[in-house]
Structures are given as structure tokens and as C-alpha cells.
Amino acid sequence: LSDKYSTLLHLQQLTVKTEDEEKPQLSELHQIKTEDNGDTEAPRHKHFSCNICGKSFKNYTTFKMHMMIHTGMREHSCDFCGKGFEEKRALQTHMRLHTGERPYACEDCGKTFHAKAILKMHLRVHSGEKPFSCYVCGTRFKTKGTLTRHVRIHTTEKPFVCHVCSKAFSLQHHLKRHMSVHTGEKQFICGVCSEGFSQQTQLKRHMRVHAQEKSFICSVCSKRFFKQDTLERHMRIHTGEDPFICHVCSKGFSKQETLSGHMRVHTGEKMFICSVCDKGFTRQQSLKNHMEVHTRPFSCEVCRSRFNKRLHLENHMRVHSGEKPFVCSVCSKAFSRHGNLTRHMAVHEGEKPSVYSVSCQAFSQDVLQKCINVTEGCK
């Protein structure tokens, strides 16, 4: 570690002030690179080499920016929040967050952005372009960040670690939700008794306490409710009353929340956001259906059933293809699944077939031998 810092100090001493910008003495910089291999002739390409991690660069500016990764230094800092940046233009872009300036506008929808890169990502909403592809399941994404979050489903990587109990999470918002356990924040409130809970699962368990307290009973269907206003809303099912009217299309609804959900059809508001890929939906059920793209990325092209493992999809495909690779050694009846064959063998139980006499190539020789050993051990 001391060698790294001595190298960094040495690099600072190598810089020479010129009219153009700070530039290093190339011969000395190259000498740092070639200390180990004895090469003293200046190379023609990538002659700026980091002595800490070994990366090489074609120009000094890029090399200088890279060195800040190791030093932790940022030359340009924000006067408002203190955040540091390696480049002046990055600071200028950041400053627009504080000033509210949004000079980049989408020609399709008029939405404005403070950075050109963010506008570029936004344009993919209109074009449908998804240049980033998952190497495991092939799902495509509009941004590299959403792909990175998605891949953690396959790798089980959990980079967000609680500093209190060391529990790890794959998504940052899961960590934030977990932190309420330590902070004592109770954002989930019981609608019956107003008791607060830090997690939604705790609230659901608590609601069972009130399960026997449903004293408001519907005179039509005898359904029970915790509160009078809930019963009143329920009664509209029987009366057909729709007091909440959409001012756009005049459609009526029995509940205010149903009308609110309907209004998103007209406004285009998508308040239900996917935590993995940031895609938005107008309805919570649509978001739940979408989440299967991430939790069950392998989809059947015939019936659209989804699976979390490719092997499960392959097994499922036999339903459509009619393939039956598992054959009974007694009567030659074939099955699409090994479990079905195992259950079928009970039909021949009186004939006592060998457990391992199934005509199936799904097992390797060593697995078959283990089956034989187990069977013989039971005799």
C-alpha cells in the first residue's frame, strides 16, 4: 500500500505547468511503466500506464482522470452540496440539478432533462430500443444500470449491505426498507386501530388480530367488515350505485380508489414502477405480471407460461411437443416426466421390477450405481 501512495506522490511531482495544461514528463512516466520489464524505448501507443492497477492510456487527460480513482481526489466540487467531479463539464451538468435548468428537450413528448445523456436514455422509451441484453436469459433493457440490477437475479449478488446487522440485499430500495427495522420507523399503519409497523408483513400478521372483530354485517350477503364506511362501500355492489364519475369519459365507479386508478388511463401516469428495470405501469396488477419477466425470465413461446430455470422450461415444452423420453421397462409405456414414470411403476408392484431398470438415459452411470447400492442396501 505504501508503494501505491509513493507512486501517487511521485506522479504529482512529475507534472509540469505549461500553457496548454499540466502535462507530465513523458520519459519519467514511461520509466514508471517499464521498471519491471527493462524496456526503455518509448512505445507508440498507450504510453501512459498506471503503476497501481496496470491500465494503460493513450492520452494524459484520460490517464489523469483515472488516477483520481486511486487518490480519491476530485478537482471540481459543487458549492451547494460538496459533491466532487473529475471533469469540469461533469460539474457543470450536475449544477443544473440545483439551478433547475433543463436545456435538453424531447421532440416527441416535450419532456425536458438537465443532461444530454439522460435525454438519450429517455428517447429509448419512444423508439423501443433496448441495447443492453442479459447474457443469461436474453432479456433486453434500455439502460446499463437496469441490466446490472437484473443480472443480480441470476448471480445472487447482494452488494447493498446493512451497516448495522450486515444483512445484504440485491437492490438498494430493499436495504432502505430493511433499515426501518433498526431506525424504528413505522410507515405501515393499521386502518382499524392505527398501530404502526416497520414492515408490511408485520401489518398483515397484525390484521389477523382483528379477524374476529368484524362487527359490521351486510344485510344482503352477510359478509362482515371491520368498519362502517367499508360496509357502506360494499353495499354499492348490491345497489349498483356508482357515485364516483370520471369527468373525461363519464364512466361511473363505486369506489374513489377505483376511479383514481381509472384516471391513469387518461393521464398516462404510471405510478407503479418496477424496482429492477424502472418500467412504469398504471395498475399494480400490471406491475405484478411484469415482475415475472425478472423472477421467471424463461418464457414458453407457445402458451406464455414462465419459469425461473431453463430446465423447468425444457421440461414444460414436452407438454407441447409430445416428447416422452421416460419409458417403462415392463410395459414400454412412455411419460414426459420422470416423476410420472415413478408413480406408474407402482402398477407393476406385484411384478417387483428393479428400481433401476427404468429405460431412461436421463441418468449418468455413477448416479445409476448409487441407486443400485441404495436398493441392495434395503434388501
CB 358 within 8 A of CB 328: yes
Cell numbers representing residue 185 in the block: 420507523
Can you list the alpha helix ranges (DSSP code H) found in 248-364? 256-267, 284-295, 310-321, 338-344
Confidence of residue 174 (pLDDT cuts 50, 70, 90): confident
Span 2-18, mean pLDDT?
Answer: 44
Task: Flag whether pLDDT at 147 surpasses 80.
Answer: yes
pLDDT at residue 375, rounded to an integer: 45
Spatial distance between the Cα atoms of 275 and 306, rounded to a whole number of angstroms = 19
Cell numbers representing residue 124 in the block: 429509448
Cell numbers representing residue 308 in the block: 425461473
Spatial distance between the Cα atoms of 165 and 344, rounded to a whole number of angstroms = 50
What does the angle CA 217 – CA 219 – CA 224 come to, to the nearest 5 degrees?
20
Confidence of residue 248 (pLDDT cuts 50, 70, 90): confident
Query: Which of 329, 299, 273 shows the shortest CA–CA distance to 137?
Result: 299
Spatial distance between the Cα atoms of 56 and 34, rounded to a whole number of angstroms = 12
- The DSSP result for 186-229, as a single string, is --EE-TTT--EESSHHHHHHHHGGGGG---EE-TTT--EESSHH
Q: 104: helix, coil or strand?
A: strand
CB 56 within 8 A of CB 44: no
For residue 348, give the DSSP letter.
G
Q: 249: helix, coil or strand?
A: coil
- Residues of 53-89 as b/e, b for ≥16 C-beta within 10 angstroms? eeeebeebeebbebbeebeeebeeeeeeeeeebbeee
Query: Which of 176, 194, 174, 193 shows the shortest CA–CA distance to 185?
Result: 176
Task: Flag whether pLDDT at 18 surpasses 50.
Answer: no
Task: Flag whether pLDDT at 245 surpasses 50.
Answer: yes
Residue extents of the structural domains in the chain: 2-71, 76-127, 324-377
pLDDT (tens digit per residue) in 176-193 = 888 877 887 787 888 778
* Phi/psi at 3 (5° precision): -60, -35
Span 25-49, mean pLDDT?
Answer: 44
As assigned by CATH, the class of the 76-127 domain is alpha beta
Query: Which of 354, 295, 304 shows the shortest CA–CA distance to 330?
Result: 354
CB 280 within 8 A of CB 273: yes
Spatial distance between the Cα atoms of 187 and 200, rounded to a whole number of angstroms = 9
For residue 24, give the DSSP letter.
E
Span 215-238, mean pLDDT?
Answer: 83
pTM over 0.75: no
The average confidence (pLDDT) of the chain is 74
pLDDT (tens digit per residue) in 198-209 = 777 888 878 777
More confident call, 314 vs 198: 314
Query: Which of 303, 297, 358 shows the shortest CA–CA distance to 327?
Result: 358
Give 196's strand partners: 189
CB atoms within 10 A of CB 200: 11
CB 308 within 8 A of CB 298: yes
Burial of residue 134 (number of CB atoms within 10 Å: 0-12, 13-18, 19+): middle
